[in-house]
Structure 1
């Protein structure tokens, strides 16, 4: 018997196929019959392929098969890799692809003119919140693929951004979805902790994928704060809001307390939908107090629900103007003594910094190479001047050269239309 082992890989038997699970978050299915055929062509043996204790087992002792099949799997993995939580195809972005990591909203780095840099190593989410601003998760009707950025490549680009932005940076791990589905989450935190320009490492998370082991790993790697997306303390309401019947509220609450105990500060960040969960505001405050949230930063970050064009917008939601929302927060401050609830950049040590210089101006026409499919229908990603451009309403294909009119440049996110 030969056992095939690969780094950070577990094999599962999926009936007619062998499922490779890489770093818990990505998978690829290899047809058993096809694997047997390529072995038979090379070695003239008739192998049976099974799985035992997480390893692929081939019932032959013929020398060289293990290395041969390992190389075959690694060479074909990129074309069939999928997101374990969304089941969508994954594009793995590494240095060899030469895809810029500035200019696009779904992955890479975003600079909004402060000392906080958003770091997006992955797209996709394990939940399908009813109010999701980008229609994410396994039940998405608009998102057709996901991206994963190699951690070394991500840090290479972060080095350049940090050189421009200076010291005292907050590296904030977020994204269009759940950052903890990033396969290199701990390694990324470790690399950022070692960076001389980084003072604070924070993360946005819904908390569902945390375990005691992962909390300890993130704490040891140097994670400072988690902004926890917790939208109800009622199990039934929480399942409704999170869009998953298997949402385990008790687990998330336990993990919030575990993070505080491990030295990771927690900011409870509910999206308030008036008429649905605004009556839980005081309960959120009491929970934050109970676990000791907000040791270095505010304990709560209430968010006012607003609809988005490409988001999931529940019809039962009552829209409240921000003026009224802030008045509501001030009343909560007076009633509960919990301050601050009206948050300002100074509460997080945020300060204005010079923007990374824009590479394009609105209305400019540029020639760009299409390098990746976009996430929604009619969208492709093109590169020019070492930046990505989201090209909308296009039929272009990867490899095409297109002329693009830049229509948006806000915060270095470039959107253009093909002409």
Structure 2
């Protein structure tokens, strides 16, 4: 095979190995790291998978208490930049880079450098990052601002200290401090802050009302002309996510009805269309493989979840998650693609 590469084990995170992803490993194909293109002008960038929160509703089972993960990944920032630059040039229109992930993106040790590199790409008009805010501070925000960050999507789910700590699953989480820092960021930097709480039925509905008041008072979203400063998320059950006992899942109808009620009560826009947030259709990166294709894959390391391995196709175009109950690390195999949506690939022997 031409793609004769390996991933490096650089550290561990609560007993799980952290693998370092560097050139020439492809940065498209995996849900947990690299780049994701969904056919819009938004490029999702995932630099790291680790997280120091244990949110009780986490859709990707992140944090120290993860039950399903067997490894974590961290990507070289310069290799990420090369891929972002290439994908942005193919799309050839105004691009927003959204740094998000299946963990806490700010944990990447070179996050400042990564943002400063992305800022150099000519057709990137906006850089945003998602964070739960546990490590957010004004000095860090000023460095992010200097590097070129435009927006922080702050996933804070309660103003109440006790409730916030319960929801994040860690006793040190300080929601009062985080909101204070967020207000300072709005006042002292060019970065805008958008609150992105998840509504957990019968847990934080009342707390979200306070977050709306906070956004109104601090004019969240006004720097980037967003139609709102609060983007409320609906709690959903995911196969490898966490589902706290006794928590009911709302229907979409009930969720939207609740948002309409809040809009009227607080005279504040909460129902927002994607195009109002800058989403546009764009060139979609071509998928080199499709479901039922049988391809040659080199297994370069253990996977993200149990019974998974990390593989690369023979032409080094994509990384592929390979499902196997048998040990196949280091082998060259032939497998069938069983998932291909959005250039995210899963294969099975």
Report the TM-score when normalising by structure 1: 0.78
Pairing 1:27-42 to 2, within 5 Å after superposition: none
Q: CA RMSD in A?
A: 1.3
Give 2:197's aligned residue: 270
- Could you report, residue by residue, the CA deviation over 1:118-155 in whole angstroms, capped at 9, with x for unpaired residues? 00111110100000011110111111221111111111
- Could you report, residue by residue, the CA deviation over 1:63-118 in whole angstroms, capped at 9, with x for unpaired residues? xxxxxxxxxxxxxxx645234xx4532111111xx211000011100000100000
Structure 2: which 5+ residue stretches go unaligned? 1-7
1:250 aligns with 2:176: yes
1:320 aligns with 2:238: no
**Counterpart of 2:74 in 1: which secondary structure?**
strand
- Contact 1:117–1:170 at 8 Å: present in 2 too? yes
**Counterpart of 1:331 in 2: which secondary structure?**
helix
CA distance in 2, matches of 1:272, 1:393: 36
- Could you report, residue by residue, the CA deviation over 1:297-356 in whole angstroms, capped at 9, with x for unpaired residues? 2200001101111011011212110111111111111121111x1121112111011210
| Number of residues of Structure 1 aligned to a counterpart in Structure 2 | 336
1:399 aligns with 2:325: no
1:235 aligns with 2:161: yes
1:409 aligns with 2:340: yes
Match of 1:212 among 122, 135, 138: 138
Give 2:219's aligned residue: 292
1:369 aligns with 2:295: no
Match of 1:387 among 306, 318, 323: 318
1:281 aligns with 2:208: yes
Give 2:36's aligned residue: 110
CA distance in 2, matches of 1:395, 1:354: 39
Pairing 1:299-378 to 2, within 5 Å after superposition: 299-339=229-269, 341-378=270-307
1:124 aligns with 2:44: no
CA distance in 1, matches of 2:10, 2:157: 35
**Counterpart of 2:253 in 1: which secondary structure?**
helix
**Counterpart of 1:81 in 2: which secondary structure?**
strand
Give 2:3's aligned residue: none
1:144 aligns with 2:144: no
**Counterpart of 1:253 in 2: which secondary structure?**
helix
Give 2:17's aligned residue: 89
1:101–1:79 distance in 2 versus 1, CA, 3 Å? closer
CA distance in 2, matches of 1:147, 1:365: 27
CA distance in 1, matches of 2:10, 2:41: 38
Give 2:4's aligned residue: none
Structure ID, larger Rg: 1
- Contact 2:70–2:305 at 8 Å: present in 1 too? yes
**Counterpart of 2:32 in 1: which secondary structure?**
coil
Q: Mean alpha-carbon deviation: is it higher for 112-121 or for 159-168? A: 159-168
- Could you report, residue by residue, the CA deviation over 1:227-273 in whole angstroms, capped at 9, with x for unpaired residues? 10110111111100000011111221122112212121111111001
Report the TM-score when normalising by structure 2: 0.93
- Contact 2:119–2:147 at 8 Å: present in 1 too? yes
**Counterpart of 1:377 in 2: which secondary structure?**
coil
Q: CA deviation at 1:186?
A: 0.6
